[in-house]
Amino acid sequence: MKRNLQIKELFLKNFDKPVTELKFKNLYELIVCVMLSAQCTDKRVNLITPNLFKAYPDIKSLANANLSSLKSYIQSCSFFNNKAQNLIKMAKAICENFNGEIPLNEKDLKSLAGVGQKTAHVVLIEWCGANFMAVDTHVFRVSHRLNLSKAKTPEATEEDLTRIFKDNLNYLHQAMVLFGRYTCKAKKPLCKECFLSHLCTSKDKEI
C-alpha cells in the first residue's frame, strides 16, 4: 500500500539509524536496562543504573545478589519488587544454563525470568541489529493513530507492523519509539510539527 510505504520512508528519513536512549556498555548492562525499562522511563533507568552496575558489574555478581540489597538500588523504578526477583532469577539461569553467556536468540532469551517477547526483541535489535519489531506503549499508540494496526495486543500489533514494513524493522522500531515519546505524545501530540501530519487521520489529531 502506497501510504504505508510513504510512512516507512519518512520514518527512515527523519530518524537516521536511531538507537535506544538507554545507556549501557555491554550486553549484560543492556539486558538489565531493558528489563528495568518495562513500564518505566528510559530517563529513570539511566539514573538508577550507574550505582547498580557499580554494585553488580557482571552477570555472576547479579546472580549472587542479596534481594533486599538489589531492591534498594532499583526502588525508584516501577514494579521494583518483581523486577529485582526477575533480575536475580535471570542472572542465575544464565550462569546455570548458558555458562554465564547471555544467549542471543529469541527462544533462549524468552526462557529467562522477566524477559518477554518485547524485551528479547529490544536486546536483539540493539545488540545485533536484528530485523525485529518490538512494540512498547509508544509504538502501540503511534501504529494505531497512523492506522497501521487495529490489533488489541502488542504482539498482534507487532505482527501487523512486521508484515507491513518487512525490513529495516530495527530502525523503524526505534524511530517509532522516539516519535511517540517526543512528537506523537499520548497527551497533546505535536501535530503541527509532525512530518506525518498529511498522512494521519487520527481522531486525536490536533489541528
Catalytically annotated residues: 118, 136
Decide: 185 and 142 in contact? Cβ < 8 Å.
Answer: no
Nearest partner of 87 among 120, 115, 106, 126, judged by Cα:
115
Decide: 32 and 40 in contact? Cβ < 8 Å.
Answer: no
Nearest partner of 114 among 41, 32, 185, 171, judged by Cα:
32
Please tell me the distance from the alpha carbon of residue 160 to that of residue 103, in angstroms, as a whole number: 27
Please tell me the distance from the alpha carbon of residue 86 to that of residue 196, in angstroms, as a whole number: 39
Q: What would the grid cell of residue 28 be?
A: 549484560
50-56 contact pairs (CB < 8 A, 24+): 53/29
